[in-house]
Amino acid sequence: MNPPTAIIEADALPPQMGLFQERWEFFKRNRMAHASALFLMSLMILAILGKVLTSAVVVFDPKAVRLSEKFLPPLTPFTSEITPKEDRPAFGIYLLGTDELGRDVFARMLEGTSVSLTIGFVAVGISITVGVFFGGLAGYYGRKKLGFITVDTLIMRFVDIMLCFPTFFLILTVVALLPPSIYNIMIIIGLTSWMGTARFVRAEFLSLRELDFVTAAKSQAIPEWRIIFIHMTPNAMAPVLVSATIGVASAILTESALSFLGFGVQPPDATWGNILSDGKQFIFDAPWLTFIPGISILIVVLAFNLCGEGLREAFDPKLRKAR
Amino acid sequence: MVNFIIKNIAQRIVLLIFISIISHAIVHLAPGEPSLVDPSNPRMKAEDIQKIRAAFHLDEPIHIQYVFWLKDLFTGELKSFKDNQPVLGKIWDRFLNSLPLFILGTLITWFLAFPVGIQAALNRGSTFDKTGTFLSYAMISIPGFFLSYIVIIFMVKTFDVPVIGMRTFGLEDSSLLFQSMDRIWHLTIPALMSAIVGTAVLSRYVRSQMLEVINQDYIRTARAVGFSNDTVIYRHALRNALLPFITMFGLTIPGLIGGSVIFETIFAWPGMGRLGYEAILSRDFPVILTLNFISAILVLIGTFVSDILYAIVDPRIKF
């Protein structure tokens, strides 16, 4: 059987580029989105570095308290005689100043980078998993009846119910009632934001399930869960990817808003949100404690949003023409 | 039409029942109880806690508690755990405070977003369009409370105007003009802050909607017939571009509660969002539940109104 296949493959004109390569080429043409994507990649490397450095190297210790050194403005060289030598900040300079307990803001921001990004990614990971699961089921089994109600109706009514809750108020309620922990915050942000994904995926599945490759897969008696999650889901990922990128941005914002109200990640763990909300009490004496985390959040969330918008344009042929 | 409306309302009522069950379950199953808020209070003895628990039916099984809650809610007997005031009265007071903030915020959103979005769409690729796009992304990305703090400091330092709270303390005896000026100053900044995200999002929608309509065939036809540019844009294009925003108008109603928690806390505005926040802090279950319930009702009313309006305005939609 092998020789004929080889001939056909040789005859066929291979596409110039793969689908994702083509999209990537288009994505690169949007300079702001491209720059944001590169920025975010370097930020992720920084976050991993920061995680390693702050937990391993003692000069980066974000929890080192030096009460004689509090409220030093950024770029103050380390000159204190009182503070022990091993609490010296990295490079002998307070790059971003110190806070009300004399902790090095640079080290805290480094630690916060990984925590904030983890919250964003895990929350979005949860919301995508739940969204793809429910959206896939609703789209694939749409017409199947469970008693008097179809699967599609059941799941989509549930989505409607979830959409009726005031999201931020719900998150606040649950976070306040549960014991404060970083995992609870991730899980709750994730579980209250999957409805959009479920709708996209369902819409994609409604058209995908009529296509030939699904019929072919069914004819080979491939189990249904494999068809749904291994064959069809990758084809429905484009809108999910876009909403995931924007979802990370809004998860970081939600975390900072929760921190502001006092329900965010609890000290001594540092996130950008709680550095910002701790710093706001000292906005007149130490404005850098407010502005450094505030502007970092602004830039990173902006980069996620621009990147998501660039992806949306790259994946949506209709928007591509309009540009 | 009547059939459609009745069916629509019936569906929404079923949704509402499920919502109330779920929110009741979430609040009551989560750990933490009203009696545990202040465990170090020496005046709270074990028998007091028992008495309180019995008075608020906290010892009953959860479905019985649900029935009690619904019954009390509809007879208006529902009392807050915290101060034993009727919940509906409390919420109504706060609603009246939230309303001006919400109305002004919505007005600012709509009156800013439409001109900006239309201009951006008409001059696509211009400096105005690019700056507008970038600014709207920046506005979506900035943490609201961070921006609010900067604005508060800026306003107080440059213009010397009061921004925190609903009114300046001690002005009750001054003339009506003076009082209303004071109220307006207090209202402006919070409304502006809560309108920013909405404006950014809405102006992006208006822009893309307008772009889509402008490239349609009937717009080319209108131009070919020789109508002036203004007629084509404001009479033919804008009216079609406006259609989806009827839906959005319905969806802004629930912003009354959910969207205002942060801003009402920053500006010490005694509205519904802050009532919810205070209720959460003191585990005041009846208030939390009722606020959740009311905001779900608001969402359902909002989507219902937009469905009906959409059907009335767009003749292409049939029942």
For B248-294, what is each residue's pLDDT tens digit? 777 777 667 666 788 888 888 888 888 888 888 887 888 888 888 88
Local confidence band at A322 (pLDDT 50, 70, 90 cut-offs): very low
Per-residue confidence (pLDDT) for residue B319, from 0 to 100: 55
- Which residues of chain A are within 8 Å of residue B257 when distances are taken between CB atoms? 166, 169
Cα–Cα distance measured from residue B50 to residue B66, given in angstroms and rounded to the nearest whole number: 20
DSSP state of B269: -
Residues in chain A, how many?
323
Does B149 lie at the interface with A, CB-CB under 8 angstroms? yes
Radius of gyration of chain B (CA): 24
Rounded to an integer, what distance in angstroms lies between the CA atom of residue A144 and that of residue A167?
Answer: 31
Quote the CA–CA distance of B273 and B287 in Å, as a whole number: 11
- For residue A90, pLDDT over 70 is answered with no
In this predicted structure, the answer to whether residue A10 has a pLDDT above a threshold of 70 is no
Could you give the C-alpha distances from A319 to A26, A139, B113, B115, B209, in angstroms and in order? 12, 25, 21, 22, 12
3-state secondary structure A196-263: HHHHHHHHHHHHHCCCHHHHHHHHCCCCHHHHHHHHHHHHHHHHHHHHHHHHHHHHHHHHHHHHHCCC
Q: What is the ipTM of this complex?
A: 0.83
Q: Do A168 and B261 touch (CB under 8 A)?
A: yes
Tokens standing for residue B300? 């359902």
Contact B265 A256 (CB under 8 A): no
- Rounded CA-CA distance B299/B50 in Å is 38
DSSP A149: E
Q: Which chain B positions have a beta carbon within 8 Å of A172's beta carbon? A: 261, 276-277, 280
In angstroms, the Cα distances linking A125 to A67, A112, A130, A240 are 40, 19, 9, 11
Q: Mean pLDDT in chain A?
A: 82
Nearest to B254 among A166, A277, A297 (CB): A166
Model confidence pLDDT, tens digit, residues A131-178: 999 999 998 887 777 777 888 888 888 888 888 877 888 888 888 877
Q: Are B90 and B80 in contact (CB under 8 A)?
A: yes
Question: pLDDT tens digits for A94-106?
Answer: 777 777 777 888 8
Tell whether A98 is within 8 A of chain B (Cβ): no
Q: Give the pLDDT of residue B43.
A: 67
Give whole-number Cα distances, B93 to A7, B85, B207, in Å. 80, 12, 38
What pLDDT score was predicted for residue A152? 86
Tell me if B258 and A160 make a contact (CB, 8 A cut-off): no
Alpha helical stretches, state H, B215-242? 217-225, 229-230, 238-241
Instruction: Look up residue B108 and give its two tokens.
Output: 């600012």
Q: Give the residue from A31, A154, A160, A173 with the most B CB atoms within 10 Å of its CB, the best one to mutate.
A: A173
Q: Of A59, A102, A72, A64, whose CA–CA distance to A268 is shortest?
A: A64
Cα-Cα-Cα-Cα dihedral sign, residues B160, B162, B168, B171:
positive
**Would you say residue A289 has pLDDT above 90?**
no
Straight-line distance from the first to the last Cα atom of chain A, in angstroms, rounded to the nearest whole number:
48
* pLDDT for the residue numbered A98: 78
Q: What is the pLDDT of residue A302?
A: 93
Q: Which residues of A touch B288 (CB under 8 A)?
A: 173
Can you tell me whether residue A133 is helix, strand or coil? helix
> Cβ contact (<8 Å) for B15 and A178?
no
Find the closest chain B residue to A179 by CA distance: B31
For residues A43 and A113, the answer to whether their CB atoms sit within 8 Å is: yes
Higher confidence at residue A148 or residue A253?
A253
Hey, are the CB atoms on B22 and A166 less than 8 Å from each other?
no
* Domains of chain A (ranges, CATH numbers): 26-60+110-322 (1.10.3720.10)
How many whole angstroms separate alpha carbon A254 and alpha carbon A173?
14
- A298: which chain B residues are within 8 Å (Cβ-Cβ)? 138, 141-143, 146
pLDDT for position B316: 73
**Cβ–Cβ contact A298 with B under 8 A:** yes
Low-confidence ranges of chain B (pLDDT < 70): 30-44, 52, 55, 254-255, 257-259, 317-319
Of A39, A48, A162, the closest CA to residue A111 belongs to: A48
- Cα B208 off chain centre by: 24
Helix (H) or strand (E) holding B136: helix B127-141
List, in sequence order, every residue forming a beta bridge with A76; answer none if it has no partner.
A94
Q: What is the pLDDT of residues A221-251, one digit of tens each?
A: 889 888 888 888 888 888 888 889 989 999 9
Q: What is the pLDDT of residue A1?
A: 45
| SS3 sequence of A278-312 | HHHHHCCCCCHHHHHHHHHHHHHHHHHHHHHHHHH
Considering the entire predicted model, what is its pTM? 0.85
Contact between residue A166 and residue B254 where contact means Cβ atoms under 8 Å apart: yes
**CB atoms A172 and B22 under 8 Å:** no
CA-to-CA distance for A168 and A171, rounded, in angstroms? 5
Selected residue of A167, A171, A177 to mutate for chain B interface (largest B Cβ count, 10 A): A177
Using a pLDDT cut of 70, give the percent of chain A over it: 87
User: Do residues B27 and A177 lie in contact, with contact meaning Cβ atoms separated by under 8 Å?
Assistant: yes
Which distant-in-sequence residues (6+ apart) come within 8 Å of A217 by Cβ? A226, A227, A231
d(Cα B190, Cα B284) in Å, to the nearest integer? 26
Residue type, A16: Q
Q: At what angle do helices B285-313 and A151-164 cross, to 10 degrees?
A: 110
Helices B62-75 and B2-29: crossing angle in degrees, nearest 10, is 130
Single out the residue of B232, B37, B211 nearest to residue B122, CA to CA: B211
Burial of B40 (0-12, 13-18, 19+ CB in 10 A): exposed
Looking at residue A323, what is its pLDDT?
45
B291 near A CB under 8 A: yes
| Tokens 């934001």 sit on residue | A193
B19 touches chain A (CB under 8 A): yes
pLDDT confidence of residue B39: 59
